Amino acid sequence: MKIVLMGAPGCGKGTQSPYIQERYGLCHLSTGDMLRDAVARKTANGKLAKDAMDAGRLVSDDIVFGIVKDSIKSPECRYGYILDGYPRTLQQAKMMEDAGEKIDKVIDFNVPDEVILKRTSGRWIHKPSGRTYHEVFRPPRTPGKDDVTGEDLYQRPDDRREVCERRLDIYKKETRPLADYFTKGGVYSMINANQTVDEVRKTIAALLDPIGIATGLK
């Protein structure tokens, strides 16, 4: 079984991936983890990726796809895989198709923009301890201050709302063609991910169980 998970940062893919992985015996592959692993192991593609990053360049689609191909050939992926955050662009999806990688199901985690922004922005950190807070979900007792020491909290630039808004806009522009592409292939399903964890799991199981039974994994 070969699954692709789509969704903006903060949509809940990371929460559901372990459930899918365990239920169907699949390996979980995220672009960031694959890239870091390839660089650490000094594979041919990992070295190319490191050279690009060290030079301040984006890692090309060809290099990233090479890393993905290496990863899905590993013994851990013999029963299939979950691709989390890949493909990100139409070009990457076409590269997979050209290589003969047939995706069984694409699940797009749909969450309203305002909910995404609440989840991804508003995080504050106490640098010395690493304690994290959130303006909505885990606010400090005193705004801007650490609960334990009373010291100032710090907000990373990436956690500011305006940055999260730009990141969300970029994601939507990049992935809109992907949804059309996978819809034409008959494998795309958008789910309401703005529900409880258990409700989202039930929705996922309803989509994947028939595929799992067909492939002998369920």
| Cβ atoms of 123 and 155 closer than 8 Å | yes
131 is catalytic: no
- Marked catalytic residue, from 50, 69, 88, 201: 88
> Cα separation of 200 and 214, whole Å?
22
138 is catalytic: no
Query: Please, what's the b/e burial string for 61-93 (b: 16 or more CB within 10 A of its CB; e: otherwise)?
Result: eebbbbbbebbbeeeebeebbbbbbbbbeeebb
123 is catalytic: yes
167 is catalytic: yes
| Cβ atoms of 66 and 43 closer than 8 Å | no
Structure tokens at 118: 């609440």
> 3-state class of 18 per DSSP?
helix
Block residue for tokens 């692993």: 37
| Cβ atoms of 82 and 204 closer than 8 Å | no
- Marked catalytic residue, from 41, 94, 138, 156: 156
What are the residue numbers of the active site?
13, 88, 123, 156, 167
